[in-house]
Amino acid sequence: MLLAATNRPEILDPALTRAGRFDRQIALDRPDKNARIAILGVHIKRIKAGKDVDLEQVAGITPGFSGADLANLVNEAALGATRRGAEHVTMDDFTRAVERLVAGIEKRSRVLSKKEREVVAHHEMGHALVASALPGVDPVHKVSIIPRGIGALGYTMQRPTEDRFVIQRGELLNRMTVLMGGRAAEEIVFGEISTGAADDIDRATDIARQMVTRFGMIEGLGQRVYEPQRQAFLGEGLIGKPKDYSDQTNREIDLAVKKLVDDAYANAKKTLNARRKDLDEGTALLLAKETITPDDFPPLVNIAPGQKLDGPSPDEVLAPEAEHAPTLS
């Protein structure tokens, strides 16, 4: 029996994978929740875990982690317990380890001015309040204005409740709205915008472009793929694939992407205008404590279906605004 492994099966010569050669292919995807629990159970035997450590809860906040990521997580949690001189690794150590791996190391030495702290606090609270107001969005776990990593001046951590394999159109739209919530809060409060939303805009634009070019989610452009997903490998993909559609269609794609992002921004502003009191109170608390959770500020808890906000109704909040969206032509 001959075994081989690769991360790029699509580039193998067909002569290698035909019957009689490597004729059976077994795909090993990232572990699901049950698999993550089992993997954590193996690695946790090497440390002294406290009684409060719940592997199911740890697995629940680590979707997308590979086996190596989970092993690193256990090591980071153990290191965190060692730094504070504890005899056991607690659930809080695991939570901090997840934050360290996902958001980066805390940079408390990075001192922000008073105005910058206010901008960052409003930005992060904007993300959090929009996330708590929309259906199908991962609940907010923690909001912080402590700088982390290389460029993050603050972060809003959302904790998935389950592994997701299929995402509906409305959920993608809501994700974009959450991403635009930070910039929307800045404009509402300060009347101007900053460079802090660069990564948010990049991610929102990427979602919008995939909805238009890969998922066939724009009615006017039909059910077809315009830009197949390709990964660059040894130079592959660096030279663009020739377009098999007209310049007019290319313009329609650009307009459709812009429309999706503009609608998300408009919806984020409308949501935050409806929750302006929560925005002001939450930001004041965040500036005072630097890190807060839904336990510290109940408005961060996801609004139940049917519950109404002050101001526009949820249906109005989710409705696209035509004046912000260029029409396709």
Active site residues per annotation: 124
* Residue 28: HSE in the Cβ half-sphere, 13 Å Cα cutoff: 7
Picking from 103, 104, 97, 70, the residue whose alpha carbon sits closest to that of residue 81 is: 97
Interhelix angle 276-289/169-190, nearest 10 degrees: 80
> Which residues lie closer than 8 Å to 283 by C-beta, 6 or more apart?
118, 121, 122, 125, 189
> Which residues lie closer than 8 Å to 301 by C-beta, 6 or more apart?
132, 139, 140, 294
> Which residues lie closer than 8 Å to 143 by C-beta, 6 or more apart?
124, 125, 127, 128, 154, 155, 156, 157, 282, 286, 291, 292, 293, 300
Pairing, β 291-292 against β 155-158: unpaired
- Residue appearing with tokens 């839904």: 294
Picking from 319, 310, 28, 300, the residue whose alpha carbon sits closest to that of residue 138 is: 300
Q: Kind and range of the H or E element at 9?
A: none
